[in-house]
Amino acid sequence: MLVFTYVRSAVPISNEKSVDTSIQRLCLLDSEQIVPLFEELSTVSAPTTVGFLNQHAYNLAQKHPCFRSSLLEMRYLLRDGIGLKLACRINRCDPKSNLNGTDLIPRLIAHLSDDAGRNCQFFSIGTQDPWLTVGSQRLYGDQPFQAVHGFLDDEEYLQFVKRHHKPGTLAVLVLALGMPRQEHLAAYLSRRLDIPCLIICGGAIIDLSAQRFPRTPKLLRQCGLEWAFRLFLEPRRLFARYVFGIPLFFFYVLRNRFHWAMAKDQAWTNDGSD
């Protein structure tokens, strides 16, 4: 069994104003732990969710309790991006490797496809044709898959998976619906499916596989500047997310870190007075 590094706090999670629960729930991994993670994911016997926490998700979690709840339900919540790297350092923990979905998900799919010990069945949920079909074909290679567009309600997706799942296989569901929709659906499906399945929050992975959008150049990715490239491509849609969202992100991180430190001091004071 792979032993992951989780950020832990001395303050109970239920004290929401005192704990940065999003950072606390991160599964932080070194690069050499990625293959063991894949091996562990290939052996799941119950619905298991994989999500990614980036700057945008962190901001959304501060403003929308339902979305934050969906994030905290993730079995594996992985660090994505330079913003969360800095947030981890502010919270005095080692951020370890950057595990963005655009790189990690294709590697995970390739690992599952090559695993002779586990028969997998792949599902794509989200976006629309022609990108849905083209992106799924490129993501899964020669593996068969089921695909459905991203304009149904939760119950319809549940019935779609139940109707198409083959007994004895590991259902691998790639949700390409964007935040916060895909995280809500992941939580919904994980509570209602009773089959071995891996539910992956994939964001734009299907669209990127279909080359609907260009991939950030490698040099910019290495410098943690994916956000700048995306802003350059889609300034009107992403202006608020990054130009306003990045300063807001650091405000939230520092605010939560301050509350956490104050709560720890209060907890230690109360313990010392007993």
171-228 pLDDT, tens per residue? Answer: 999 999 999 999 999 999 999 999 999 999 999 999 999 999 898 998 988 888 899 9
Lowest-pLDDT range, 74-78, 91-95, 179-183, 244-248?
Answer: 91-95
CA distances, 176 to each of 15, 132, 139 (Å): 32, 9, 12
- What is the total count of domains within the chain? 1
The one-letter amino acid code at 78 reads L
Q: Give the pLDDT confidence score for residue 130 in this predicted structure.
A: 96
Give the separation between CA 35 and CA 166, rounded to whole angstroms: 26
Q: Give the pLDDT confidence score for residue 118 in this predicted structure.
A: 84
Q: Residue range 230-253: average pLDDT?
A: 95
23-70 pLDDT, tens digit per residue, is 889 999 999 999 999 999 999 999 999 999 999 999 999 999 999 999
Q: Give the pLDDT confidence score for residue 10 in this predicted structure.
A: 29
Lowest-pLDDT range, 12-16, 217-221, 232-236?
Answer: 12-16
Q: Which of 143, 148, 120 is nearest to 133 (CA)?
A: 148
Q: Residue range 92-115: average pLDDT?
A: 94
Sorting pLDDT into bands at 50, 70 and 90, what band is 263?
low
Q: Give the pLDDT confidence score for residue 270 in this predicted structure.
A: 57
Sorting pLDDT into bands at 50, 70 and 90, what band is 17?
very low
Strands (E), the chain: 5-6, 27-28, 48-53, 76-79, 120-126, 145-148, 170-176, 197-201
Q: Give the pLDDT confidence score for residue 108 in this predicted structure.
A: 97
111-147 pLDDT, tens digit per residue, is 999 986 789 999 999 999 999 999 999 999 999 999 9
Residue 237: give the domain boundaries: 5-273
Give the separation between CA 220 and CA 40, rounded to whole angstroms: 31
Most confidently predicted of 71-75, 154-158, 219-223: 154-158
Q: Tell me the whole-structure pTM to 2 decimals.
A: 0.88
